[in-house]
Amino acid sequence: MNEYDSNRILDLMKSIDYIRTQNLGDANCFILNTCHIREKATEKVYHEIGRVKKEFRNRKKPIVLIAGCVAQAEGEILLKKEKYIDAVIGPQSYQGINKIILNYEKELTKINLTDYDTVKKFDHLNSINNSNNKVSSFLTVQEGCDKFCKFCVVPYTRGPEFSRSILEIISEAKQLVENGAKEIILLGQNVNAYNFENYQLSHLLYELNKIKNLRRIRYTTSHPKDVTQDLIEAHQKCEKLMPLLHLPVQSGSTNILKRMNRNHTIENYLEKIKDLKNSKPSIKFSSDFIIGYPGETDEDFEKTISLMKKVKFINSYSFIYSPRPGTPAANLKEVDSSTAKKRLLIFQKIADGIKKDYRTSLINTVSKVLFENKVKKDNAYFGRDEYFNSVIVKSSENLTGKIKNIKISKCNHNTLFGENILSSQVKEKEFAA
């Protein structure tokens, strides 16, 4: 979502004659768009400001603006602690970025703009074309969260759940397709909680499915509680919807899920997995895990390992619990640091083994790959298969924007490698499941 927001900020600033530069030293304005999910993200703000200071120590200082969730959560602290920062702007207020910059150019007045005004933001953004021209493009459809998981800052930094209108979304999606997008990834803190005038995410998927020249649809990130029957059916009926679902579970222990206020049990989660597989037999899953959440016992941790082995997530993101200021969990007694680190290493070793087995199983199978761009250093192209696996293929043909049948020849931990083959050579049974 930060990538989507950053691109829209660039679209906004064109009207005041600011354009993006790839060279920090050329910048008149430096904007750092931030995330507050992990503690290190806040530390990186000060690290990046130090980098800018060093670059401009003998030259005129650029306007320095901190945007995003760190700005929302710690705006006043940032302005007081780091005098080099000129303004902070929250993720629901960045439609006002031009006024902030123009005002600062005239008056050199520091500004804290962290209002929750999501409706006004999208009303303004709807009047400006989305200029993103990537083959795979992000599109925000929902923001905020009403779940209040005890470890999470999102309800405090992004505000309550808000869904854009279907007409707005379809209009922007068509812009992106006209710009060259072949795949659109729908974004939301709880994207499957999308609800606009009784239209659910499933309705939106069906409407997007009708757009000519749009070849693939994905959505992220979902909450297990909002996996509804109509959405499950959409995975069966919507042919452009890819067969991979990122469904964060956070823990394999119902006890820990209750402590997290996740409002679902492992039994509920597995039932949703079963229903999705029944609806779409080829579907696979990825997930997020928090290791060492306050109160996690050895038994709780073993249940998380058991869940990983049972579902066999083809990709997973796991982290040691990181207390975020202002969240209820920040006041809980933490699991011993050395114990949490040991558990994370054990978990990641198992997760990596499952991932390796899965990727190895793809060798000598054929995948449909949408190519996004040319690899800079080689005569090769980068793309992703239907399961979002990275694929690199050497080719003298320009593959950008094309979907090709690729026979996988080898793999490493993060990437599949293959060769382009003619459609006539491909038998249906060869396709990777």
Place of tokens 């293959």: 418
Q: Where are the beta strands (DSSP E) in 70-146?
A: 87-89, 111-113, 136-140, 142-143
Place of tokens 């899920």: 257
Report pLDDT for 330: 93
Report pLDDT for 43: 84
Give residue 430's identity as a one-letter amino acid code.
Answer: E
User: What is the rounded CA–CA span in Å between residue 276 and residue 280?
Assistant: 6
Radius of gyration of the chain, Cα coordinates, nearest whole angstrom: 23
Report pLDDT for 107: 85
Report pLDDT for 422: 67
- Which parts of the chain have pLDDT scores under 50? 423-424, 426-433
pTM: 0.90
User: What is the rounded CA–CA span in Å between residue 413 and residue 406?
Assistant: 18
Place of tokens 């068509």: 174
Report pLDDT for 345: 98
- Give DSSP secondary structure letters for 202-213: HHHHHHHHTSTT
HSE, CB side, 13 Å, CA atoms: give it for residue 375: 15
Cβ atoms of 202 and 230 closer than 8 Å: yes
User: What is the rounded CA–CA span in Å between residue 28 and residue 102?
Assistant: 12
Report pLDDT for 38: 72
Cβ atoms of 318 and 369 closer than 8 Å: no
The residues near 91 (Cβ < 8 Å, ≥ 6 apart) are 5, 67, 68, 69, 71, 72, 143, 157, 158
User: What is the rounded CA–CA span in Å between residue 370 and residue 186?
Assistant: 17
User: What is the rounded CA–CA span in Å between residue 325 and residue 323?
Assistant: 7
Cβ atoms of 245 and 285 closer than 8 Å: yes
